[in-house]
Amino acid sequence: MGRLFGTDGVRGVANSELTPELAFKLGKAGAHVLSRDKKRPVVLIGKDTRLSGDMLEDALSAGILAVGGNVIKVGVLPTPAIAYLVRAYKADAGVVISASHNPFEYNGIKFFNSEGFKLDDDIEDEIEDIILRDIDVNSHITGEKLGRCLDADDDAADRYVEFLKSTIDVDIRGKRIVLDCANGAAYQVAEKVYSGLGAEVFLIGNSPNGININEGCGSTHPERLQREVVKRKAFIGLAFDGDADRLIAADEKGRIIDGDKLICICARMMKERGELTENLVTATVMSNLGFHRYIESMGSSVNVTGVGDRYVLESMLKSGCSIGGEQSGHIIFLNHTTTGDGILSSLQVMKAVVLSGKKPSELSDEIEIFPQVLRNARVKNENKNKFKDDGEIQKVIARVEKEMDGLGRVLIRPSGTEPLVRVMIEGQDVDHITGLAEELSALLTERLG
């Protein structure tokens, strides 16, 4: 059996791959590992708006209760809310039931430790080992040793809202803002935050029914947001994904501002305010060449990591960097919290725009983003890494890089989950780089497929 944990928890089609039985086992093993020294560990559970959330929440809770843990269910809240609240409640662990930006039929389970950080690989491996080896961790727990469900001692959502509001210290009263909540976990919280700060809020994607999360809305489908911003003559549009840990924006002209640009805008603000620790910004190998040039033009440096927010965070913790993220809009502000937070990120963007005295479009246009073309080469799974040692492939890569002549780049990356090698080429002429990407992907398929 393969690994249960991917780059962001355990995911799969609910009730098929991610079953109640697996959720029960994850509850038992997770509570056992994360709170081994506690006689009565407390685990906080939140979820997004998916239909399967109730089923998995109950199964997960039963597993935690079976090993003597107590459970606090805080209901539908963004993933980063759990990372914050696990510290606020002094809980031993937090769990989020969500599949983020994926369609509603998928779901996922991800853990946070008592400090609000996602789990290290070795902790996930320990949980997984207990499940795969079918180790019984609760046979000795009976009678009064069993856990119980506890009520939250106050309104968890309001507590999180107040925290978010505390992260912005500029006046946004009267600003016309369109919020796209992806019919997901932010559908109540985001409005409370922005209305509470005095903004004029227009909402879309705020009518979840269990099956419409991320459907034609949110950060992965921002087209409606773009139209709505223009229609409402709004100052800016802000779109979150299903669990609200990502942000994509639309400027007042309805043009998309992606994660790379949002990080640039916030990094410049932080540098001007003396908050850009180590004069460093963290990004993944997929960050745009234009991103690198902009950060370097500020006199700052970029620390590059592998794809995935967990690797961004690991690098930030090691380097002391205060801001990092991905093109997808997953942005981490370590001076405020421990994980990517779409609403918090949006507040920092608002702060940066207001302090600049410029329009969102003006700030966005200062950052030149190079066209990127991505093609997938289908190869045999066992051959995914062999392109590094194939002389013919390396010869073509070298030729393509020479053609770029410093005005682009080539990135070849094996997929972590599929029998694919991804070819990404960046450059100024989109037709030219498209041809190069298709040539390279065809060669990879021919040689390794």
Note the pLDDT tens digit of each residue in 124-147: 999 999 999 989 888 788 899 899
Q: Has residue 39 got a pLDDT over 70?
A: yes
Mean pLDDT for 237-252 is 98
Name the percent of the chain lying above pLDDT 90: 84
Question: What is the DSSP track for 248-309?
Answer: EEE-TTS-EE-HHHHHHHHHHHHHHTT--GGGEEEEETTS-HHHHHHHHHTT-EEEEE-SSH
Mean pLDDT for all residues in the chain: 94
Catalytic residue (one of 100, 287, 364, 441): 100
* Whole-number pLDDT of residue 153: 67
For the ranges 115-124, 411-420, 426-435, which has the lowest average pLDDT?
A: 411-420
pTM: 0.91
pLDDT band at 299 (very low <50, low <70, confident <90, very high): very high
Token duo for residue 201: 């809020």
Burial 217-242 (b: 16+ CB within 10 A, else e): bbbbbbebbbebbbeeebbbbbbbbb
d(CA 7, CA 314): 13
Q: Has residue 1 got a pLDDT over 50?
A: no
Q: Which residues lie closer than 8 Å to 15 by C-beta, 6 or more apart?
A: 52, 55
The angle formed by the CA atoms of residues 245, 250 and 252, to the nearest 5 degrees, is 145
Q: Report pLDDT digits (tens) over 177-233.
A: 999 999 999 999 999 999 999 999 999 999 999 999 999 999 999 999 999 999 999
The angle formed by the CA atoms of residues 336, 341 and 346, to the nearest 5 degrees, is 90
* 155 carries a ligand binding annotation: no
Per DSSP, the three-state class of 377 is: strand
d(CA 40, CA 48): 27
pLDDT band at 152 (very low <50, low <70, confident <90, very high): confident
Counting every residue written for the chain, the total comes to: 449
* Whole-number pLDDT of residue 62: 97
255 burial (CB, 10 Å; 0-12 / 13-18 / 19+) is: middle
| Closest C-alpha among 110, 97, 102 to residue 10 | 110
* 301 carries a ligand binding annotation: no
d(CA 397, CA 379): 17
Active-site residue flag, 219? no
* 16 carries a ligand binding annotation: no
Q: Has residue 417 got a pLDDT over 70?
A: no
pLDDT band at 280 (very low <50, low <70, confident <90, very high): very high
Residue written as tokens 């207001």?
A: 354
Mean pLDDT for 146-152 is 88
* Whole-number pLDDT of residue 119: 87
Mean pLDDT for 303-314 is 91
* Whole-number pLDDT of residue 406: 76
* 58 carries a ligand binding annotation: no
d(CA 380, CA 383): 5
Q: Has residue 2 got a pLDDT over 70?
A: no
Q: Which residue has the higher pLDDT, 261 or 141?
A: 261
Are 323 and 266 in contact, with CB atoms under 8 Å apart? Answer: yes
Rg (CA), the chain: 23
